A = this chain, B = another copy of it.
Amino acid sequence: MKRDFKHGSPYGTHRVLEPKGVLPQPAWKIDNTMTIYDNEILIDVLALNIDAASFTQIKQEAGGDEARVREIILGIVDQRGKHHNPVTGSGGMLIGTVKEVGPALSGKTGLKVGDRIATLVSLSLTPLKIDEIRAVHLDKDQVDIVGQAILFESGLYARLPDDIDEKMALAILDVAGAPAQTARLVQAGDTVVVIGGGGKSGTLCVYEAKKRVGPCGKVIGVSPFAKDCRRMQELGWADVTLQVDATDAVALMNAVSEATDGRMADVTINCVNIPNTEMGSILATRDRGRIYFFSMATSFTAAALGAEGVGKDVEMIVGNGYASDHAEFALHLLRESPTLRRLFETLYV
């Protein structure tokens, strides 16, 4: 018997119940009926990885009582149709297996029934129904459940590979945009400065930049910490490491100038999550160079007015955590480089 499907918006606006007309993320309540539209994907959910801020708040509200944590989680999903913490505003992501793929997506998505995936869009916009909470892992911000969820046509996901440990996969997927965007930005022969080159996303940027610049380019890793600089040197992907605090714009400019004989960076990638590194990024970059801000601590006005104030004709780009195929791209790096894989095993799992 042929089933009739309704067609939905790629962004899921058809499931918004209140207020009307907004997107699912800012919506207070969305429709979590588990009958899919023709461009949706139905997922059997195995576990929720709840956002750290949200889980901390829930544990506090529950006074650390596990039964009360269950009640709060069930209450949120019951009330809103999604796991969208009303106090912190944040969600998390989920792990599950594909149960059904809408017919309008056949040929458009690479997913098939039975695939094990992690969603890369927030739980704060994902229709979710929980039948049963099987276990609460208070120390891991994780909850094992029996339930179902809906992925919209625009919804991001990553197929979890067989050859990479799930925790390691999730650790690299968390910053998958960084190496994918670096690959697009960096040309052979470029001088690339990675501010925060010793951190998780920074290391991936340094690694990818080194591949791209080739033998005539130069990758400069910057960190205020001796430990991070030492690790960058040991890993060997940074041609130069500079132990400089990027909030000191003049010090960073002088250090990069010295390391490049005054040429400055063609591309600067900012991966530090601390404020006031916009001007350092601008002064480290040559005229007509490009700056990619991954840092969520970036101030739009500090960047815009900063460049104008010193008359620097640079292109400054807002870091987009998403790029087509970024998940596959990031997972492949772990296959490509045993050194990178060992590093992730040691530090981030």
Partner pick for A25 among B122, B293, B296, B309, CB 8 A cutoff: B309
A78–chain B nearest beta-carbon distance, Å:
23
Are B323 and A304 in contact, CB atoms less than 8 angstroms apart?
Answer: no
A127–chain B nearest beta-carbon distance, Å:
15
Are B121 and A177 in contact, CB atoms less than 8 angstroms apart?
Answer: no
Q: Interface size class for chain A?
A: 35 or more
Neighbouring B residues of A177 by C-beta, 8 Å:
308
- In whole angstroms, how far apart are the Cα atoms of A308 and B25 in the complex? 12
Which of A45-53, A60-68, A248-256 contacts its partner? A248-256
Cβ < 8 Å to B, chain A residues 220-265: 248-251
Are B156 and A311 in contact, CB atoms less than 8 angstroms apart?
Answer: yes
A310–chain B nearest beta-carbon distance, Å:
5
Partner pick for A11 among B125, B283, B288, B298, CB 8 A cutoff: B283
Query: Closest residue of chain B to A278, judged by CB?
Result: B318
Are A250 and B321 in contact, CB atoms less than 8 angstroms apart?
Answer: no
Cβ < 8 Å to B, chain A residues 292-312: 293, 296, 298-301, 303-305, 307-312
Report A's interface with B, CB cutoff 8 A. Answer: 11, 13, 21-23, 25, 121-122, 125, 154-156, 177, 248-251, 279, 283, 287-288, 293, 296, 298-301, 303-305, 307-324
